[in-house]
Structure 1
Amino acid sequence: MANQTFSTPAPVADILTETDAGYSLTVWNDDINTFDWVIETLVEVCAHSPEQAEQCSLLIHYKGKCIVKKGELHVVQPMCEAILDRHINATIDALV
């Protein structure tokens, strides 16, 4: 049998520290906005691909909400305001 050597991986805690904090941008379902309008909004405001926006719109419709973006407040706040300006319900929550 050949000799095998294993190296110890780098500590994961240092890598995850930066992504643990931040905010989530949630879009909520309503009976007013169409799938196309929500998809167009997510593509234009959140820089989603059309496929990603469609998946999020389906989650919004069937689950009642979907976290569409995570990041620092200065990133998600303008996105939330732009979504609200399009009369789509959205909120920002701190990640714990």
Structure 2
Amino acid sequence: MSTKEQILEEVLVEEQVGLNNEIIVYNDDVNTFDHVINTLVRVCNHTSEQAEQCSLIIHYKGKCTVKTGGLDELKPQCTGLLDAGLSAEIV
């Protein structure tokens, strides 16, 4: 393996490790579909279709990963979801 290939491989591994964080939203008996959809669009920059699909998964499966990325990016988004009354956590 050449030095160039080795460095490229190390960079790719670092990028993958940095994106292992996820925001998971859990189902509850309080929030409506519309509220969850609107919150995902506003806070996580989802399209309407993405937010609707996530809300259905949350409802039927009990939880859904709504966003992945670096911890610095996810913290304010998770806080926004919590402030809107959704049950969410970063894992």
TM-score greater than 0.5 by the shorter chain: yes
Closer/same/farther in 2, CA of residues 65 and 16 from structure 1, 3 Å limit: farther
Unmatched tracts of structure 2, length 5 or more: none
Unmatched tracts of structure 1, length 5 or more: 1-9
After superposition, give the CA deviation of every residue in 1:5-24 in whole Å (9 maximum; x if it has no partner).
xxxxx899567521343310
For 1:43, the aligned partner's letter is V
Mapped to 1, the partners of 2:12 and 2:64 lie a distance apart of 23
Query: Which of structures 1 and 2 has the bigger CA Rg?
Result: 1
Partner of 1:70: 68
More helix by share: 2
After superposition, give the CA deviation of every residue in 1:29-51 in whole Å (9 maximum; x if it has no partner).
00000000000000000000000
Identity between Structure 1 and Structure 2 (%)? 51
Mapped to 1, the partners of 2:12 and 2:60 lie a distance apart of 31
Taking structure 1 as the reference length, the TM-score comes to 0.79
RMSD, aligned α-carbons: 1.9
Tell me by how many angstroms 1:90 deviates. 0.2
1:30-45 to 2 correspondences below 5 Å:
30-45=28-43
Mapped to 1, the partners of 2:60 and 2:11 lie a distance apart of 34
Taking structure 2 as the reference length, the TM-score comes to 0.83
1:15-94 to 2 correspondences below 5 Å:
16-17=12-13, 18-21=15-18, 22-93=20-91
